[in-house]
Amino acid sequence: MSIKLYHNAYLDIINKEFGSGRYLGPYSHREVEALIGPFQSCPLSLVPKLGKPGKFQAVHNFSYPHESSPTLSINLFIKAENNPCTWGTFETICFLISQLPPELQASVRDMAEAYQTIPAHYSQWPGLVVRLEGEDKYAINTNNNFGLTSAGRIYSHLVDTGADILRANGIGLLSKWVDDHILFCILCIYLKSYNANREKW
């Protein structure tokens, strides 16, 4: 339904995925099977991005089908408890700010196309095939995706590493929520007293 409602946005997203090389194809059903073997395709939806009018996030419904069916959903085989993420919650950010000195400065950095920047292993491609509009048209998606139960954990490996590198280089006041990074800056006049407090804590 959302594909018809936001058809131009759908075409923009599909063309961008092909242009970036993340989608291979388009292929017929037979061609996809010849390339990667038996595969499963999941419905694609478009969700408007909050606070970004006219921008949409493509989400693959890897939990489809929801009801009892001979075909089981991809997400049914991925245990959420095996894929924890270390996002900074609202409470974490509030607590961090409450401990910081006055005249604090903060910056939020958004990572563009965060999940899709991570390639999927070739063995996972049969579960990532996208059915395109039109008769017998498919694309092989080769990258991580919104909608997979494990997608957040896969991406968090990358951002946790990035956060560790920043901290190791003295940029230690930061938190993250999925693809948004919040970096804090303390004025030099407060740095000595803040570091003394951190040592006590």
- In this predicted model, what pLDDT tens digit does every residue of 33-58 receive, in sequence order? 999 999 998 888 888 888 888 888 88
Q: Is the pLDDT of residue 28 over 90?
A: yes
111 burial class (0-12, 13-18, 19+ CB within 10 angstroms)?
middle
Determine the pLDDT at residue 1: 62
Residues in the chain: 201
Q: Output the average pLDDT for the chain.
A: 87
Query: Strand ranges (DSSP E) for the chain?
Result: 23-27, 41-42, 44-48, 56-60, 105-110, 129-131, 138-141, 174-177, 180-185
**Least confident interval from 24-28, 37-41, 74-78:** 74-78
Q: If you average pLDDT over residues 128-146, what whole number do you get?
A: 91
Residue 158: per-residue pLDDT: 84
- As a whole number of angstroms, the distance between CA 125 and CA 120 comes to 7
Task: Give the predicted TM-score (pTM) of the model.
Answer: 0.78
> What is the token pair recorded at 82?
């095996």
Asked if residue 126 has pLDDT above 90, the reply is yes
- Is the predicted pLDDT of residue 131 greater than 70, yes or no? yes
pLDDT band of residue 134 (cuts 50, 70, 90) is confident
